[in-house]
Amino acid sequence: MNFSFPAREPKVEAEKEEDAVVEEEIPVSMKPAVPVIPSENTLIEDIEEPSNTIEFAVETVEKKSATAAQKQAADKGVEFSIEKAPEKATPMLDDEPMLGKLDSPYDSTLDLSSYQFPPISLLPDYGKDEVIIDAEELTANKDRIVSTLRHYGIEIKKIKATPGPTVTLYEIVPQDGTRISKIKNLEDDIALSLSALGIRIIAPMPGLGTVGIEVPNRNPGVVSLKTIINSDQFQKANMELPLALGKTISDQPYVVDLTKMPHLLMAGATGQGKSVGLNAIIVSILYKKHPSQVKLVLVDPKRVELSLFNKIERHFLAKLPDAEDAIITDTKKVINTLNSLCIEMEQRLELLKDAGVRNIKEYNEKFVARRLNPQSGHKFLPYIVVVIDEFADLIMTAGKEVETPLQRLAQVARATGIHLIIATQRPSVNIITGTIKANFPARIAFKVTSKIDSRTILDTGGADQLIGKGDMLISNGSDLIRLQCALVGTKEVEEITDFIGSQQGYSTAFYLPEYVEEGGESGGTEISADEKDSLFDQSARIVVETQQGSASLLQRRLKIGYNRAGRIVDQLQSTGIIGPFEGSKAREVLIKDMMSLEQKLKDLSPDNFQE
């Protein structure tokens, strides 16, 4: 089976060698190798003669002689080829902004109709966008792999190399009857023979019938975010929230939809690329979505990682009404924000229920088609992406106060367009609990220090054998894919946020519902006559009639805002009509019939209020 080289003519470093014979346990002869400039007509063949001699030839073949070369390579034995990478997409012009167009009757972007998407020229190129194929290195690694396996009595039929940005994948087909576990157990021996930082053996490759050996390149490349943003996979992605994560081993851009995940858990040791990965995720959203379509809730206990995004507060950020800073750093404010998101989730679920739809995409399509009445409380709902940079710090300082609302959001919020991205440098079982893992099927692991940490985050080993500097494994369901994370530096993030922040934005950030913490104002105290809301009596009758003590119910029935409805609920609690806040449970209505309520309201006449 023959594979041709990539069409973009990567550099090849190979020197001309004279005929040489290496005497080992099995005699090995090498045909003369010449320098190769890879092209779509170049073939690399490994042919095993009946005398157990491996011949490895590197030949440059003209188009007209390609068929003849293939016939010469038809002998049985070990066949070695290099996989061809597909041609690159036509790059976007540097100064061309990516403008979104909506042809629907209702246009959510009209409030900021002059908004300009950041141009691709703000992202720099880190080196050349090509994989440097060192034919000498590929040949040497192939020989060592074959030699090591034969030393332990394992014969192979084929071996194929797929060079990537930082890692080369060698796929081998062993002879029939070979035990795969025997190859898996030789991981350390192969790493020793290759003098590699660490290799990973995939035995077997899912759906391919081969055994994969991932070997780090001697001179690893850099994957710039610009090449991913500029690719067809990202530009033409039919996704709600596309994330540009990096490139696969086969040098292909890897773009996923956050709404399909629907939440993402990231972990890795300090300095292995988590913060860069978060920046790449946020920047890819900024390049694809209009401010009216997505809002970001950024939690940064370290106070320095996400501070650059403060400049886009009036465009993309969401916060509590009383918050001064849109980037949340205080643990107490994190708790209030997560509980506020639970309130937002409840309100959205009510809107979805009234609209007769199952998720936010169907709801917005119905609203855009003007099939929902705004006077009934319906509105266009933006996606909300919650990014938490250091989850372990929150768990250590707040514990259940953070974990409880977070678990509820992870379980229910996906249908309402609220998605979570959590990163931590401590993937231990007391930080990433079973409940958290159950609701985060999509996980990214950067290099970790032990196999235990790898199993905690991925439920399997492998993350401890990564080489660092953005090398990562992503698990989405049953698939485990190795990627090189896209690099975006602090300077580029600053330029992008400056470009967006300098444009006209909304008057304020996106306000989340107001949250009154437990034991706050509503601790069973009485209210004065001046504080009593004019709709207090009517609200009390609605609550007792429906036996539901929720602010969202009062909003819909009385057509008032959430803040006023929340104050009325506090007054109903302080006067003993409804019970206290109980987290995810509905408030208990303490008065069960209208006759008892009328007597209660009579007792609560102005003369009975505390002066």
Nearest to 525 by CA among 585, 594, 575: 575
Digit-coded pLDDT (tens) for 582-592: 765 678 888 88
pLDDT of residue 151: 86
81 confidence band (pLDDT: 50, 70, 90): low
The two structure tokens encoding residue 314 = 């009036």
Contacts of 140 (CB under 8 A, 6+ apart): none
Calculate the average pLDDT of the chain. Answer: 78
The two structure tokens encoding residue 283 = 């920047």
Q: How many CB atoms lie within 10 A of CB 304?
A: 10
Find the mean pLDDT for residues 179-195: 82
User: Residues spanned by CATH 1.10.10.10 within the chain?
Assistant: 536-608
pLDDT of residue 95: 40
The two structure tokens encoding residue 503 = 């444009």
70 confidence band (pLDDT: 50, 70, 90): very low
Higher pLDDT, 450 or 52: 450
Digit-coded pLDDT (tens) for 227-256: 999 999 999 888 999 999 999 988 889 999
Give the best-scoring range by mean pLDDT among 13-22, 91-100, 453-462: 453-462
CATH of domain 536-608: 1.10.10.10
Nearest to 510 by CA among 352, 285, 292: 292
> Distance from CA of residue 120 to its chain's centroid?
21
Going by the DSSP 8-state scheme, the letter that residue 430 receives in this structure is: T
Amino acid type, 442:
A
The two structure tokens encoding residue 582 = 């109980």
Q: How far apart are CA 432 and CA 424, in angstroms?
A: 9
Q: How many CB atoms lie within 10 A of CB 495?
A: 17
Q: How many CB atoms lie within 10 A of CB 401?
A: 20
C-alpha dist (Å) from residue 583 to 322, 342, 412, 415, 541: 21, 9, 14, 20, 24
Cα angle at 485 between 479 and 490, to 5 degrees?
150
Higher pLDDT, 372 or 1: 372
User: Residues spanned by CATH 3.30.980.40 within the chain?
Assistant: 20-86+134-216
CATH of domain 225-511: 3.40.50.300
Altogether, the residues listed in the chain come to a count of 611
User: Residues spanned by CATH 3.40.50.300 within the chain?
Assistant: 225-511
Q: State which H helix or E strand residue 392 sits in.
A: helix 391-398
Find the mean pLDDT for residues 24-44: 39
pLDDT of residue 131: 65
Nearest to 593 by CA among 553, 544, 548: 544
CATH of domain 20-86+134-216: 3.30.980.40
C-alpha dist (Å) from residue 90 to 95, 125, 227, 468: 15, 16, 11, 31
Does the pTM surpass 0.85? The reply is: no
